[in-house]
Structure 1
Amino acid sequence: MRQLILSAMLTCCASAAMAHTVWLEPEGKGDFQVKFGGHAGKLETYQPEKIKRIEAVDKQGKKLAVKQDIAADGVRLHVDGAPALISMHFDNGIHTKPATGPSVEKPMNEVPGATRATYAVKYHKTVVDWAPLVTKTLGQPFEVVPLSAQQPTADQPFRVRVLQDGKPAAGVKLGHGEEGTATDPVTDADGVAAFVPKKGFNRLWAGKRIPVTGNPKYTELSYEYSFGFDAK
């Protein structure tokens, strides 16, 4: 019984620790704000230096210019032209658990007595205009790819494939926003699962944690993905 309780606690803690996703919210034609979900569902200002890559393309796959504006309340993007898809890569750093006290954002080998550390890497896509190109992979190390180029319909299953290093990733849960439940869909052997969107703007979440050995800086790699889109 003690082992079962401990296992449940660890699962709960892992889910909570992974609920720190980054996404884009539309603010107008070609304008978006970078959002970051923090503890207890509170929004936090995302550090601009952690944004490693931003790409926007139109329906034909042509790359569009993206301008970043850094303000006190976060980062805003302006995309020239008519974007169909915007993708991003975020490096959220290494978070180490000391022998006592809360986690610190330092490599494990810089924290005396630490034995656990997580390297958090996050990826994102926002579909602005549905087109065949949204079903193509971008080559992100951890990626969510729609299986249909048709705009999803609220309350109707919407199938996606999750890839890790370009290969189907089985056993990955899909959730809404930053909330996970015991009934969330899980990817099959082909990396496919059906997500049921809500009407309006949706944030599909996917995450995976990978044990790492022989690395003095961290013991675990955490991948998180947020996929933003409107359901009709």
Structure 2
Amino acid sequence: MTLLTLDHLTVRRGDCPVVDAATLTIGAGELVGLIGPNGAGKTSLMRGALGLLPHEGQSSLTALPSDRRARHAAWLPQSREIAWPIAVETLVMLGRTPHLAAGQRPSDADRAAVTRALATMDLNGFEGRAATALSGGEQARVLIARALAQDTPLILADEPIAGLDPGHQIATMAAFARLAAAGKAVMVSLHDLGLAARHCTRLILMHKGRIHADGLPAAVLTRENLAQVFGISAHMAQGPDGIIFQPLEVLT
């Protein structure tokens, strides 16, 4: 089942295309890593796909009415600002809003979804704490939990593991992988190429607003692509537990 289709999606900043005619499909069961250097267009691609930026071309998400779109795709932006001292459980419950009618109180199913999301993000015992009193990494995990509680077929997450400690980075990627294995799809932008190679079923490499490569991690993280797009060399090997990828040095 196809959960996202982009057809020549273009996002401009002034006259300059920051996303240039991106065409792709994402299907159920995929954990797609969106990679590329700073300014490559990763965030703009996801925001354009969601209709949060003016764009040319087509996105299957923007063709949906807003209420259906909110039940189809959860969006986790880079920004992690939590403005009010709201309780963690209440904040995560906001992820259930697309499933509730106006004035409707959360059901047992809604509460169960929140409980699952909190447990997934290692937040048991945090339910009553004010989200603004948490560390930056803990707040990031709360916001990921809110997106998980939305329980949509598709998740778009922009650098969700930035600032998390290594254990929670790995646990978050593993949680995304389990969602994909269960028939959902996740597109996640990443700068950690090692985690991208290890956990993602597919990588999309962006460079100067264009999709430069798209395929299995080993086919995308080639010596040529790493040199041309990132200007680095790296070591990659297939270990018993999967791909092991380590950037080595900047090429001059």
TM-score of the pair, normalised by structure 1 = 0.26
Q: When the two structures are superposed, what TM-score results if normalisation uses the length of structure 2?
A: 0.25
Higher strand residue share: 1
Report which structure shows greater RCO (CA 8 Å, sep ≥6): 2
